């Protein structure tokens, strides 16, 4: 993982624009997306696919194509969607590439699992294998179903983490007083021969505070109503209505966070600054950045 992230940064720096022979100009969101994709590809798809340049290009393009298409279609009549969507998705070039590569791998691993065929090499450690292992013979998923679920999860995996990186960098530029504290925290972790992010409570709290003030969207957890539903307070929803959570409003609400509009990197650690009160990856009703419920 360290090698992949380092190589991605090196490639981006080499391709960037040199300014005054002192520093390199890069687009932060573009670099953040590429680093996120490179790192998560290994976790999701394994080493073979993550080293495939055609596949990597597709996993980078697919979430962006999908997001742009969804946003444009929101402002268009439903009748035009079948005509406009293929154009915006570039005739599904990225998604077709993903499906073609993933189907081959998933079908092969399902075949091995069903026949109890022993793999000569080490067992893959990735999300594909997680779905293969979790696949129950009683309620077995097809290769197509597994690929569809993986692609759905992948969409969420790229966008939010990349934006979180960008906002964290911007917050660090606005609050340079934390740089020395981060270096001290990292030095302490390394001197103890630890490689555990739990040993970096301030960094974790900084990332959570940054994302609290800068979520990727103002609303989250969108759900389309399929049948009439009434909440306990009497609010009624009808079919085709869309329910959602006011993500940004909740995370900036002074009811839940004192001095809620002020950046405070120590907000989520204890008074001794040695332990997190809650973590960046946690989800709750007052911090629904990663969603809520079983889909979080």
Q: What is the pLDDT of residues 155-172, one digit of tens each?
A: 878 888 899 999 999 999
For residue 223 the two structure tokens come to 């759900």
CA–CA dist 185, 198 (Å, integer): 11
What integer pLDDT is reported at residue 296 of this predicted model? 65
Report which DSSP code applies to 230: E
What integer pLDDT is reported at residue 105 of this predicted model? 93
54 pLDDT tier (thresholds 50, 70, 90): very high
Task: Tell whether the torsion through CA atoms of 199, 203, 205 and 211 is positive or negative.
Answer: negative
* Cβ burial, residue 95 (10 Å; 0-12/13-18/19+): middle
What integer pLDDT is reported at residue 232 of this predicted model? 92
**pLDDT greater at residue 4 or residue 172:** 172
| Section 34-57 average pLDDT | 90
Q: 91-116: per-residue pLDDT in tens?
A: 678 889 999 999 999 999 888 887 77
Does 258 score more than 70 pLDDT?
yes
Q: Work out the number of other CB atoms within 10 angstroms of the CB of residue 207.
A: 21
What integer pLDDT is reported at residue 120 of this predicted model? 62
Q: 190-242: per-residue pLDDT in tens?
A: 887 666 667 899 999 999 999 999 998 898 888 889 999 999 999 999 999 99
What integer pLDDT is reported at residue 292 of this predicted model? 83
**What is the pLDDT of the chain when averaged over all its residues?**
87
What does DSSP say about strands 23-25 and 220-224: parallel, antiparallel, or unpaired? unpaired
Nearest to 262 by CA among 182, 174, 176: 174
Q: 121-143: per-residue pLDDT in tens?
A: 678 889 999 988 887 665 788 89
**pLDDT greater at residue 89 or residue 186:** 186
In this structure, of 54-58, 83-87, 172-176, the range with the lowest mean pLDDT score is 83-87
CA–CA dist 81, 74 (Å, integer): 9
Does 42 score more than 70 pLDDT?
yes
**Domain 1-162 CATH superfamily:** Cytochrome P450 (1.10.630.10)
For residue 101 the two structure tokens come to 């590569």
Does 246 score more than 90 pLDDT?
yes
What integer pLDDT is reported at residue 119 of this predicted model? 62
118 pLDDT tier (thresholds 50, 70, 90): low
From residue 225, how far is each of 4, 37, 222, 229, 237 by CA, in Å?
A: 42, 32, 10, 8, 7
Percent of the chain with pLDDT over 90: 43
CA–CA dist 36, 201 (Å, integer): 22
Does 250 score more than 90 pLDDT?
yes
Does 259 score more than 90 pLDDT?
yes
Q: Where do the domains of the chain lie? A: 1-162, 175-296
Angle at 71 between CA 65 and CA 77, to 5 degrees: 115
């Amino acid at each position: 993982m360290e090698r992949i992230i380092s190589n991605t940064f090196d490639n981006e720096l080499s391709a960037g624009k040199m300014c005054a022979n002192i520093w390199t100009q890069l687009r932060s969101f573009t670099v953040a997306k590429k680093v996120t994709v490179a790192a998560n590809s290994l976790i999701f798809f394994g080493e073979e696919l993550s080293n495939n340049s055609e596949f990597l290009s597709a996993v980078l393009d697919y979430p962006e194509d999908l997001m742009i298409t969804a946003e444009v279609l929101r402002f268009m009549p439903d009748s035009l969607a079948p005509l406009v969507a293929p154009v915006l998705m570039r005739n599904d070039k990225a998604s077709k590439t993903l499906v073609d590569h993933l189907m081959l791998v998933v079908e092969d691993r399902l075949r091995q699992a069903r026949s109890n065929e022993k793999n000569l090499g080490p067992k893959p450690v990735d999300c594909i294998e997680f779905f293969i292992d979790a696949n129950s013979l009683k309620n077995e998923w097809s290769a197509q179903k597994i690929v569809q679920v993986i692609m759905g999860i992948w969409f969420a995996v790229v966008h939010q983490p990349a934006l979180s990186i960008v906002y964290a960098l911007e917050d660090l530029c606005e609050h340079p007083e934390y740089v020395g504290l981060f270096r001290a925290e990292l030095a302490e972790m390394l001197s103890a021969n630890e490689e555990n992010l739990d040993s970096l409570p301030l960094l974790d709290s900084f990332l959570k505070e940054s994302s609290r003030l800068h979520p990727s969207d103002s609303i989250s957890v969108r759900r389309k109503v399929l049948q009439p539903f009434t909440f306990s307070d009497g609010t009624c929803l009808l079919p085709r209505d869309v329910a959602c959570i006011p993500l940004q409003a909740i995370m900036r609400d002074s009811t839940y966070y004192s001095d809620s509009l002020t950046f405070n990197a120590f907000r989520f650690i204890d008074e001794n600054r040695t332990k997190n009160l809650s973590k960046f990856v946690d989800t709750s009703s007052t911090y629904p950045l990663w969603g809520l419920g079983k889909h979080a």
